[in-house]
């Protein structure tokens, strides 16, 4: 579990709990890259304090977020912030649910299912809530308008002189988003916030960062059949029996399987880096090389593809052996 097992005194816990909640609530309103790390303060609490403190921070952040939105709706000019009751309620509910999902992943009251499956379930919940809410309130026309505006802004910032077909690019991005791209982004968003929170917690000395979760993660053996049939469904509903809703559903199942096998592949990588006989310099060099590969455009697709294939291959090839008494990697 990610939280500590010590019993905290309420007087000592309340200040960091409220501080993390306030920072998280403010980051939700900032927009841009800051919003992408709005869950990090909650992650720090999850890795450094108790489950109760984590959930207290989550509920406090949700309440603060709703109060900030209420203040915007009541005191800002309507033409600058056109808030309707429906938008206000959806924003409050969706962000509160996102906070609760993140707390369930990082500080679960019951350690089941495994962390990887909590990421998958959490990503699916976030995608469903945001998709249904946005579509019901704004509709497809507004969604296309927002995506087009974002792409045009990127085009201007990069100084490309509108060399792209903006309309075609918007359609392509939307198609990729509904076919698993949005789901993958939601999972990566949750994962990144959790890991950054773990690193910050380790830096301040509250808890040692651990890779034991991914190190010991194995996808269910039957998942390879789910992946196979979902890939077959993609081909059937794309080429032979074109049915867009079923094709989109199949792509999302493929994405789910790919994420789980990528987690298993990362476990294999961590395993080889964790073998006691490896020197510290070898581990540092390999870790640096892997980070560079994953962060390099173009190369990262190859690196992640190899990690994914490693995870799938472990259905037939044993890459990891653990000492039964200590659960440590052995040659």
For residue 250, pLDDT over 60 is answered with: yes
pLDDT at 204 over 80: no
Does the pLDDT of residue 254 top 60, yes or no? Answer: yes
Taking 80 as the threshold, does the pLDDT of residue 246 lie above it? yes
Q: What is the pLDDT of residue 62?
A: 93
Contact 39, 25 (CB under 8 A): no
Q: How much is the pLDDT for 180? A: 87
Q: Which residues fall within 8 angstroms of residue 57, CB to CB, at 6 or more apart?
A: 17, 18, 20, 21, 24, 41, 42, 45, 103
Question: Chain-centre distance of CA 153, in angstroms?
Answer: 25
How many angstroms separate the first and last alpha carbons of the chain?
Answer: 27
Spatial separation of the C-alpha atoms in residues 150 and 148, rounded to whole Å: 5
pLDDT for the residue 329: 57
- With b for 16 or more beta-carbon neighbours within 10 A and e for fewer, the 201-233 pattern comes to beeeeebeeeeeebbebbbeeebeebbeebeeb
Distance CA 1, CA 106 (A): 8
DSSP-assigned states of every residue in 248-271: HHHHHHHHHHHHHHHHHHHHHHHH
Distance CA 78, CA 205 (A): 46
Q: What is the largest CA-CA distance in the chain?
A: 66
Percent of the chain with pLDDT over 90: 24
Q: Give 122's contacts (C-beta < 8 A, 6+ positions apart).
A: 101, 102, 104, 105, 186, 187, 190
- 105 contact partners, CB below 8 Å, separation of at least 6: 115, 118, 119, 122, 190, 194
> What is the predicted pLDDT for the residue at 33?
75
Choose the weakest-confidence range: 138-142, 143-147, 200-204, 241-245.
138-142
DSSP letter (8 states) at residue 181: I
Q: pLDDT category, 330, cuts 50, 70, 90?
A: low
Rounded Cα–Cα distance for residues 285 and 303 (Å) = 16
Listed as own residue / partner, the contacts of 5-11 with beta carbons closer than 8 Å and 24 or more positions apart are 5/50, 6/50, 7/50, 8/49, 8/50, 8/52, 8/53
Q: Where are the domains of the chain?
A: 1-210, 212-331
Res 212: pLDDT: 57
Q: Is 69 or 264 the better-scoring residue by pLDDT? A: 264
223 pLDDT tier (thresholds 50, 70, 90): very high
Q: Outline where 49-83 has alpha helix (H).
A: 51-75
Dihedral of the alpha carbons of 163, 165, 169, 172, in degrees to the nearest 10: -130
- Mean pLDDT comparison of 116-120, 271-275, 299-303, highest-scoring range: 116-120
Tens of pLDDT, residues 85-141: 777 788 888 889 999 999 999 888 877 788 888 999 999 999 888 777 766 665 555
- What does residue 329 show for φ and ψ, rounded to 5 degrees? -65, 140
Extract the tokens encoding 95: 């962000």
Q: Residue 181 above 90 pLDDT?
A: no
């Amino acid at each position: 579990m990610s939280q500590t097992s010590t019993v905290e005194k309420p007087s000592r816990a309340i200040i960091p709990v409220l501080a993390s909640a306030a920072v998280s609530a403010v980051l939700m309103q900032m927009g841009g890259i800051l919003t992408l790390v709005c869950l990090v303060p909650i992650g720090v609490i999850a890795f450094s304090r108790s489950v109760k403190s984590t959930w207290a921070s989550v509920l406090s952040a949700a309440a603060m977020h709703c109060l900030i939105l209420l203040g915007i709706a009541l005191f800002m000019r309507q033409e600058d912030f056109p808030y309707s009751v429906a938008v206000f309620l959806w924003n409050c509910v969706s962000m509160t649910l996102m906070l609760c999902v993140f707390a369930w992943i990082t500080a679960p009251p019951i350690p089941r299912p495994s962390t990887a499956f909590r990421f998958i379930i959490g990503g699916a919940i976030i995608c469903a809530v945001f998709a249904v809410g946005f579509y019901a309130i704004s509709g497809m026309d507004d969604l296309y308008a927002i995506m087009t505006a974002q792409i045009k802004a990127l085009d201007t910032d990069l100084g490309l002189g509108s060399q792209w077909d903006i309309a075609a690019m918007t359609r392509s991005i939307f198609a990729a988003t509904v076919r698993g791209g949005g789901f993958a982004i939601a999972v990566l968003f949750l994962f990144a916030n959790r890991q950054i929170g773990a690193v910050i917690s380790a830096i301040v000395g509250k808890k040692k960062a651990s890779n034991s979760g991914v190190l010991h993660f194995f996808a269910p053996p039957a998942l390879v059949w789910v992946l196979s049939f979902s890939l077959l469904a993609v081909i059937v509903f794309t080429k032979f029996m074109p049915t867009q809703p079923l094709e989109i559903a199949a792509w999302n199942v493929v994405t789910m399987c790919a994420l789980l096998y990528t987690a298993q592949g990362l476990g294999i990588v961590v395993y080889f880096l964790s073998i006691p006989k490896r020197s510290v310099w070898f581990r540092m060099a390999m870790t640096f090389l892997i980070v560079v590969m994953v962060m390099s455009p173009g190369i990262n697709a190859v690196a992640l593809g190899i990690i994914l294939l490693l995870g799938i291959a472990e259905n037939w090839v044993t890459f990891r052996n653990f000492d039964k008494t200590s659960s440590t990697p052995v040659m």
